[in-house]
């Protein structure tokens, strides 16, 4: 009986520490104005359970070099390798909150929440200032 309880306890602890569904996934960002793919962003789960998202590849021809149109810390620097999503935390059922997203074009950081939709094929993100009503949505498509 002790062996069964120990095995169940180990299985339960493994489930608690299982990787988040976003961990290790690659997403195609879509430009709000042109509706065209802009970049590929990879999510990684940190030791404390929060997620970050890093630009892996720029998809717009001619924009994969230094960003001369960017303001702030990204001016004249390549965007590949820049972490744009920070502190995103799962709140269960494919929903996320308490994150931040940085727009490298203007250097501004916004609060972020999101949810996985369409059986994991889309990621709806909402960036906002202050309250969620004062923000906008972006739909990213799963690339991997």
3-state secondary structure the chain: CHHHHHHHHHHHHHHHCCCCCCCCCEEEEECCCCCCEEEEEEEEECCCCCEEEEEEEECCCCCCCECCCCCHHHCCCECCCCEEEEEEEEEECCEEEEEEEEECCCCEEEEEEEEEEHHHCEEEEEEECCCCCCEEEEEEEECC
Mean pLDDT value across residues 113-124: 97
- pLDDT interval class at 21 (50, 70, 90): very high
CATH code, domain carrying 92:
2.40.128.520
Q: Is the pLDDT of residue 75 over 90?
A: no
Mean pLDDT value across residues 31-46: 93
Phi, psi of 67 (to 5 degrees): -90, 90
Asked if residue 14 belongs to a domain, the reply is no
Asked if residue 11 belongs to a domain, the reply is no
Q: How many domains does the chain have?
A: 1
Q: Is the pLDDT of residue 121 over 80?
A: yes
Asked if residue 101 belongs to a domain, the reply is yes
Domain that holds residue 89: 20-142
Q: Is the pLDDT of residue 86 over 80?
A: yes
Mean pLDDT check: name the lowest of 34-38, 88-92, 97-101: 34-38
This prediction's pTM: 0.84
Mean pLDDT value across residues 23-29: 97
Asked if residue 5 belongs to a domain, the reply is no
Asked if residue 3 belongs to a domain, the reply is no
Asked if residue 12 belongs to a domain, the reply is no
């Amino acid at each position: 009986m002790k062996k069964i309880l120990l095995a169940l306890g180990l299985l339960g602890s493994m489930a608690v520490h299982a990787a988040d569904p976003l961990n290790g996934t690659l997403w195609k960002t879509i430009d709000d104005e042109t509706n065209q793919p802009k970049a590929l962003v990879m999510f990684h789960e940190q030791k404390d359970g929060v997620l970050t998202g890093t630009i892996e590849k720029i998809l717009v021809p001619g924009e994969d070099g230094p960003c001369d149109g960017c303001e702030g810390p990204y001016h004249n620097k390549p965007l590949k390798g820049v972490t744009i999503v920070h502190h995103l935390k799962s709140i269960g059922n494919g929903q996320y909150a308490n994150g931040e997203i940085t727009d490298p074009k203007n250097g501004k950081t916004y609060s972020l929440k999101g949810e996985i939709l369409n059986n994991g094929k889309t990621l709806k993100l909402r960036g906002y200032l202050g309250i969620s009503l004062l923000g906008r949505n972006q739909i990213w498509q799963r690339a991997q």
